[in-house]
Amino acid sequence: MSHAELERHLSLGEAERLESALMAFDRLIAGTPPNPAELAGAPVLNAWHRTQVPILEPALVGWVESHPQLPGSRRVVTSRLLVLDETAGWARTVSRLYRLMAPSTCGKS
């Protein structure tokens, strides 16, 4: 398969940041906090508070079947779309790989 057939929705830079974040997350949940050098090199955030930010991300909407966590057939919005290959009939999201069947006749949204 050529890379020209792939519709990428995650830049290589974003993929590298995601991989780095996941490696850091793995270390943190394993009980390894940031070391003094990492903390010393980190930017300072002052007068901060928690919030929730809605993010617009590419995703797919459709009817899913054979989902490992959702029984039956139901309409879903996938997690963030990473790569789409309509010709080969698959899409990879953050959560999982999907086999693509017929696209919607309602158009794109």
Tell whether 2 is covered by a domain.
no
Overall number of domains in the chain: 1
**What residues form DSSP beta bridges with 92?**
83, 97
With a pLDDT cut of 70, the percent of the chain lying above it is 94
Domain extent for 49: 7-99
CB 1 within 8 A of CB 85: yes
Quick: pLDDT tens for 46-72.
888 888 788 888 999 988 888 888 888
Beta strand extents in the chain (DSSP E only): 7-8, 61-64, 74-77, 81-85, 90-93, 97-99
Tell whether 1 is covered by a domain.
no
Tell me, yes or no, if the pTM score tops 0.75. no
Tell whether 104 is covered by a domain.
no
